[in-house]
Amino acid sequence: MYIPFDELPPHARLWIYQASRPLTEAEQTEIKPLLQRFATEWSSHGKGLQASASLLHDRFLVLANNEAETSASGCSIDASVRFVRELEEQLGISFFDRSQLAFLNKGEVETVAMGELKNKVATGDINENTLYFDTLVNNYGELQQAWPKPAGSSWLSRYF
């Protein structure tokens, strides 16, 4: 069962996929109905999930499920991964490259390769107050309250 993204309860579980490049308006227009259809049809052991999906900041695909209603099973999570992989093929984009970190810089999403992070910290381009899009956020409440969040408040704190 589809639920509008902004009506998700704070405890709703999230899966965040970061695109390897910004999505164009045309791509977003193409993807949005596919996201809604997937969320509508997404199920666990034959029972529909109370699910939603959204594109945020032209870069992040977010799938969500209200776990208080029905928990996502391993099979349903596998189905969501297959869906995202199909989008990758359709768009010629990657949603599974974890080697790029995303930061908010002057209102724009900027990506930094993991291998460049220490250098960016050393030069001051990234500091503990730089806003970071932590794809490890796992519930809607946290997304609403602290996303992006200061890098020093994330797993990146060890670099400062």
Residue 85, phi then psi, degrees to nearest 5: -60, -40
CA–CA distance, 147 with 131 (Å, rounded to integer): 8
For residue 69, give both structure tokens: 């209603």
Pick from 97, 102, 104: nearest CA to 129: 104
Judgement on whether residues 20 and 84 belong to the same structural domain of the protein: yes
- Residue 114: give the domain boundaries: 100-159
Judgement on whether residues 112 and 47 belong to the same structural domain of the protein: no
pLDDT of residue 144: 96
Using alpha carbons, list the distances in angstroms from residue 92 to 25, 53, 81, 89, 119.
Answer: 15, 20, 16, 5, 30
Q: Which of 36, 63, 91 is where one domain is finished?
A: 91
Judgement on whether residues 86 and 9 belong to the same structural domain of the protein: yes
Judgement on whether residues 80 and 104 belong to the same structural domain of the protein: no
In contact, 76 and 49? CB cutoff 8 Å: yes
Judgement on whether residues 35 and 87 belong to the same structural domain of the protein: yes
Q: Which of 41, 56, 91 is where one domain is finished?
A: 91
Domains contained in the chain, number? 2
Helices (H) and strands (E) in the chain, counts: 4, 9
Judgement on whether residues 108 and 65 belong to the same structural domain of the protein: no
Local structure of 150: helix, strand or coil: strand
Local structure of 17: helix, strand or coil: strand
pLDDT one-digit tens code per residue, 85-118: 999 999 999 999 999 999 998 889 999 999 999 9
**Global pTM value:** 0.92
CA–CA distance, 61 with 73 (Å, rounded to integer): 20
pLDDT one-digit tens code per residue, 60-74: 999 999 987 877 878
Judgement on whether residues 105 and 70 belong to the same structural domain of the protein: no
Pick from 63, 62, 61, 34: nearest CA to 51: 63
Judgement on whether residues 71 and 40 belong to the same structural domain of the protein: yes
Q: Write down the mean pLDDT value for the chain.
A: 94
3-class SS string, 29-89:
HHHHHHHHHHHHHCEECCEECCEEEEEECCCEEEEEECCCCCCCCHHHHHHHHHHHHHHHH
Judgement on whether residues 73 and 21 belong to the same structural domain of the protein: yes
Please compute the mean of the pLDDT values over residues 120-130 and round it to a whole number: 96
Judgement on whether residues 69 and 118 belong to the same structural domain of the protein: no
